[in-house]
Chains A and B, each alone.
Chain A
Amino acid sequence: MTRRRAALFVRIAVLAGLVALLEICCRTGIIDPLTVIPPSEMVASMVDHLGSGEFNESIVNTFSTIILAFALAVGLGTLAGALVHRSSRLRDVADPLLASYYSVPTFIFYPLLVALLGLGKAPLVVLGVLSAAPAVMISTLSGLDGVPPVLIKLARIHRLSAARTLWWIILPAALPRLFTGFKLALSYALIGVIAGEFILSGTGLGYAISFAYQSFDNRAMYGLMLFVLLVAIIANGILYVWEGRLARRRSAG
């Protein structure tokens, strides 16, 4: 425990040192302010731009797209995983597909999706689902594989109904691995949606960043960038801590 705390402190110190170094380099002109602005300026710009409300619409747009894609990916991925798990024949077909799925840069489908569905929310949601759902599916499969057979037998001895077996036995036993899938799904959906907005879109935070870059508005660009990264880090961090708690509770109980 103390060791973990020590690692945490050193980690914070290292990160703080890096930020301070960047600040000093920018302030003294070692790094050209046209390339990177000092971190304190980034924070100020973020606060300014968020406070002015000019990006409220983009923020709502982006995060509603991400949440929609994430929810769809979790729903579809879990369902597909559960279905494939039931049939060993489907499993034989699906396993090699899933094994090589993430080797394909899903993102290259985005221009096709835009042509197919038009510029707007739809291609972004589909892109988010395409990049996130297979991760949920893989983790559902591995979670269901990991349910000890003795628990299923226990459920059968107690003559639990299928729904109750699912709720009381399978779900709790598979939850840690499922959760890993959800965590991945969130970051993949986030990456997919923001990348899509960045490359080809007319709304959203990704678009706002690329617009600021193209109009040489470095201050706005770094402010928005910091905001997106902070939100991503905080969202992932919450899931990371939650996952650790789940795992620890399991090993303790």
Chain B
Amino acid sequence: MSDVSLETALSSGTSRRRIRAFDAAVMTVLMMALWQAVGSWTKGVAVSPPLPTLFYLFGLLRTSMFWDHAAATLTAFLMAFVLSALIGLLLGLIFGLRRFAGEVAEPILAGFYTIPKVTLYPVVLLIFGLGMSAKVAFGIMHGLVPMTLFTLGAVRNLPPVLIRTARVLRLSPARMMRWVLVPACLPDIVNGLRISFSLSLLGVLIGEMFSSQRGLGFLLVNGMAQNNVPLSTAVVTVIVVVAIAVNTLMLRIGRRRVARTGNK
């Protein structure tokens, strides 16, 4: 893009956008065709094709059973996400400002981020028992670390002059956080929130897939066990669509923030 001169970029802007829209449409059609192909190739044993899934989904959305499970997942997920975000933000700010503590903590957190946390789920179950709190705890185990790491990185890379200015103005820690740190780190914080969002969702769903009686994860595994292929395909579709929609929204917000504050 960089070696296209400004003039040609301006004149070809609309046609380029048109090509892009066309390509995106082709891609969508290709993916639908792939879905259809897998569905009809396996004769609907594993995956139900797009159209039947859509019809099934509309029927499913009218049942209260579906909304019960969706509400269970949503409650657990929201609690996990909000707690991960708040605690992660706080920890990230602390570790970012106290450099030595940050240096000590960062590799531990990064190490925790890369281990297969599923193996720890039985421990979570033994501590919290079956039910909502175990799912929330498992969601936090997934969502907390990325939020902390992103915030930590953002604070560490902050121009020192901002922190010095805050010290000169004798801002209290709370005000410093509110007026200096959070606004300056906002793009990274939005990114951290985005990652934390998808990982805490993953944690909650895995929790529901393993020994649980409620939630979309349970519905998915149960659909599989009962050979109700349209049900499991519909649940997967719902989760994928919601996850992509929220992620796109957060990417947009992040970009707008970057455009506004102009940093990075």
A residues sitting closer than 8 Å to B (CB atoms) are 3-4, 6-7, 10-11, 14-15, 34-36, 88-89, 92-93, 96-97, 99-100, 102-105, 107-109, 111-116, 187, 190-191, 194-195, 198-200, 206, 209-210, 213-214, 218, 221, 224-225, 228-229, 232-233, 236-237, 240
Contact B107 A236 (CB under 8 A): no
Which residues of B have CB within 8 Å of A115?
45-47, 224, 229, 232
Which residues of A have CB within 8 Å of B195?
102
Asked whether any CB of chain A lies closer than 8 Å to the CB of B246, the reply is: yes
Contact of A116 among B1, B46, B103, B116 (CB under 8 A): B46
Nearest CB of chain B from residue A191's CB, rounded to whole Å: 4
Which residues of A have CB within 8 Å of B235?
108
* Segment of B61-69, B181-189, B202-210 in the binding face: B202-210
Question: How far is it, in angstroms, between the C-alpha of A14 and the C-alpha of B100 when the chains are bound?
Answer: 13
Contact B122 A213 (CB under 8 A): yes
B195 to A, closest residue via Cβ:
A102
Nearest CB of chain B from residue A159's CB, rounded to whole Å: 22
Q: How many residue pairs between the two chains, A and B, have CB atoms under 8 Å in the bound complex?
A: 161
Which residues of A have CB within 8 Å of B117?
191
Chain B, interface SS category? helix
Asked whether any CB of chain A lies closer than 8 Å to the CB of B240, the reply is: yes
Asked whether any CB of chain A lies closer than 8 Å to the CB of B81, the reply is: no
Asked whether any CB of chain A lies closer than 8 Å to the CB of B259, the reply is: no
A15 in contact with B108 given A100-B247, A111-B220, A115-B224 (CB within 8 Å): yes
Question: How far is it, in angstroms, between the C-alpha of A103 and the C-alpha of B191 when the chains are bound?
Answer: 12
Contact of B251 among A6, A10, A99, A113 (CB under 8 A): A99
Contact B126 A228 (CB under 8 A): no
A214 to B, closest residue via Cβ:
B211
Question: How far is it, in angstroms, between the C-alpha of A159 and the C-alpha of B247 when the chains are bound?
Answer: 45
Question: How far is it, in angstroms, between the C-alpha of A95 and the C-alpha of B64 when the chains are bound?
Answer: 38
Contact A112 B122 (CB under 8 A): no
Chain A, interface SS category? helix
Contact of B202 among A89, A107, A199, A221 (CB under 8 A): A107
Which residues of A have CB within 8 Å of B45?
115-116
Question: How far is it, in angstroms, between the C-alpha of A14 and the C-alpha of B195 when the chains are bound?
Answer: 27
Nearest CB of chain B from residue A55's CB, rounded to whole Å: 14
Contact A92 B100 (CB under 8 A): no
Nearest CB of chain A from residue B134's CB, rounded to whole Å: 13
Nearest CB of chain B from residue A110's CB, rounded to whole Å: 8
Contact A225 B119 (CB under 8 A): yes
Q: Which of B70-120 contact A (CB under 8 A)?
A: 100, 103-105, 107-108, 110-111, 114-120
B224 to A, closest residue via Cβ:
A111
* Segment of B20-28, B149-157, B161-169 in the binding face: B20-28
Having A97-B27, A112-B232, A232-B116, one finds 11 other A-B pairs with CB under 8 Å, namely A7-B103, A11-B107, A89-B19, A93-B20, A96-B248, A103-B194, A112-B47, A112-B224, A210-B210, A240-B107, A240-B110
Which residues of B have CB within 8 Å of A36?
123, 126-127
Contact B125 A213 (CB under 8 A): yes
A–B complex contacts, Cβ < 8 Å, 19 sampled: A89-B19, A93-B23, A100-B243, A100-B244, A102-B198, A103-B246, A107-B205, A107-B206, A107-B209, A108-B217, A111-B221, A112-B47, A113-B46, A116-B46, A194-B116, A209-B119, A228-B119, A229-B119, A240-B110
Asked whether any CB of chain A lies closer than 8 Å to the CB of B236, the reply is: yes
Question: How far is it, in angstroms, between the C-alpha of A6 and the C-alpha of B101 when the chains are bound?
Answer: 11
